[in-house]
Amino acid sequence: MQVEPSIAKTLPTPQFYVPSVLLPREAAQSPTVHKIHILGEDERSKFIAHALSSVYDSVELLGWRDDCSLKYRNIQRLRPNSRRATSHVATNLAIPRTLARDDSSRIDQLVVTGHGHEAAEALKTVKHRIDENTTVCLMNDGLGVLEDVRKKIFDGIDASPSFLLGHMSHRLAFNRTYDAVTQLKQGQTKLTFGQEPRMRVKDMQKIKSRPNFVRTLKEAEDLHSSFTTYDQWLRFKLPSVIFDSVVEPVCVLLEMPYQGLLQNPPAQRMMQGLVSEMMLVLENMPELQGSTVIRDYVHSKGIRKFMHSRIMGKRSQPSKLTRRIEKGLPTDVEYLNGYFLRRGQRLGVDMRMNIMMRDMIKAKHSQAIERLNSFVPMEETSVPSHLAFRYRTSPPQQTVY
C-alpha cells in the first residue's frame, strides 16, 4: 500500500502588531529592522513620531541640541465639537532621546522638522550618518530650506541624499498641564519631490526606486498624507507662508495684536503691497510656468479670505513673531520675505515693500538682543543669621511688657 505524503499546513499570519516600544534595544538597532529617524524638537516632530510608530518597527525621535528637552511625552487629541479633552491623553509611542554624537550607524530615512533656520544646523549633527541611499524629508517652516541645506551641508558632495519636501496643516500646540502635544485641529500632510522641475534624473530614479518611504507615510492614518506635484504642494503651503510673511511683520512694525490690523487702513495697504509683490514673483517663477493651480490661486480672493479668517481666529493674541523677537530668538525672515526677495531679484521684480519688512525685522531683532545683553544678572541669596541686623533698613521693634 502506498502512503500518501502528508500535506504541510501553513499557519495563518498573526493579525496583531507589536509596537516599537516593546522591541528590545538590541533589536531596534539591528539593520534588518524597519527604522525611521525624526530629527526635531517641535510639536510636529513628536506628533509625526507617534503617528509613524503604528506602522514602523522602530522610530527614533532625536533632539539635536545639547540642551534638548525631553518634555511633552504625551499626545492629546481634542474631542470633535468639544472643548474638554482630558480623557484623550495617551503616552507618545516614540520616546524621545538625546542625539549620541558618537553614533555612526547609517540613517536610511529621515524626517526633519522645525523652523527653517534650524534645518541645516540639525542636519549637520547627523551628516556623517547620511549617504546617497538616504531619503531626507524636509518639513520645516518657510521656503528655500532645501537650497540652503544643499549649499551649507552637501555642496560639492557626490554622495548627497535624495530629498522630499513636506508640509502639514495640522494645528498642534504644547500643553504643559498634561505634558503633551495637543492636536487642536486635524489637517493633511502633502509630500513632493524636491523641486521636481529642476531635479536631476538620477535623483528622481533613486526616490522612485524606493517608494516605501512615501507609502508608509500614507499608512500612518493620523498624518493623512498624500503625494502631489510640486506646484500643488506649493499651493498647499503658500497660505501659511504668506501669513507669516505679511501679517506677522506688520504686527511687529505697528506693535499691535492681530485684530488691530483689520481696523487700520494703513496696515491693510502695507499687507496689500507685500502680497502683490509676492504674487508677481510666483507668476514669473520658471518652474511654475504653465501651472493652472498657481495661476488660479494668484488671481483668486482666497489669499485675503485666509488671512482674514486667521486673524479673526487669533484676535487679541500677541504676534508670534513679536514674542520671538522680544526673547531674542532667531527668526525665519530669510525663508519667508527673504525667499521672495532672492527670487524676485533674479526675475527683475521690484520688491521694495519686502525689502523694507526684512530690514525692519532684522533691526528689531538686533535691538532686542542688545537690550537683553544690557541686563545685569542678579542672584538672590539669603543673608546669614549673624549678619541679619547689619543689612536691616530699619531698627528692630522692641516689645514693651
DSSP string, 225-294: EEE--HHHHHHHHHHHHHHHHHHHHHHHHHT--GGGGGG-HHHHHHHHHHHHHHHHHHHH-GGGTT-HHH
pLDDT at 240: 95
pLDDT at 93: 83
Band (pLDDT 50/70/90 cuts) for residue 330 is very high
| pLDDT digit string, tens, across residues 350-364 | 999 999 999 999 999
Q: Are strands 180-185 and 171-175 parallel, antiparallel or unpaired?
A: antiparallel
Cα separation values, 76 from 72, 102, 179, 180, Å: 10, 34, 9, 6
Reading the block at residue 134, the C-alpha cell is 538616504
Band (pLDDT 50/70/90 cuts) for residue 394 is low
pLDDT at 397: 60
Which helix (DSSP H) or strand (DSSP E) does residue 163 occupy? strand 162-168
pLDDT at 309: 92
Between 308 and 378, the more confident residue is: 308
Mean pLDDT, the chain, rounded, equals 82
| pLDDT digit string, tens, across residues 58-115 | 888 888 776 566 788 888 887 665 555 445 788 888 877 766 677 788 898 999 999 9
Residues 380 and 318 sit within 8 Å (Cβ to Cβ) = no
| pLDDT digit string, tens, across residues 38-48 | 999 899 999 99
Please give the backbone phi and psi of residue 187, each rounded to the nearest 5 degrees, phi first. Answer: -135, -160
Give the chain's radius of gyration (CA, Å). 26
pLDDT at 21: 39
| pLDDT digit string, tens, across residues 114-156 | 999 999 999 998 998 898 889 999 999 999 999 999 999 988 7
| pLDDT digit string, tens, across residues 10-34 | 444 433 333 333 344 444 444 444 6
pLDDT at 57: 76
| pTM across the whole model | 0.80
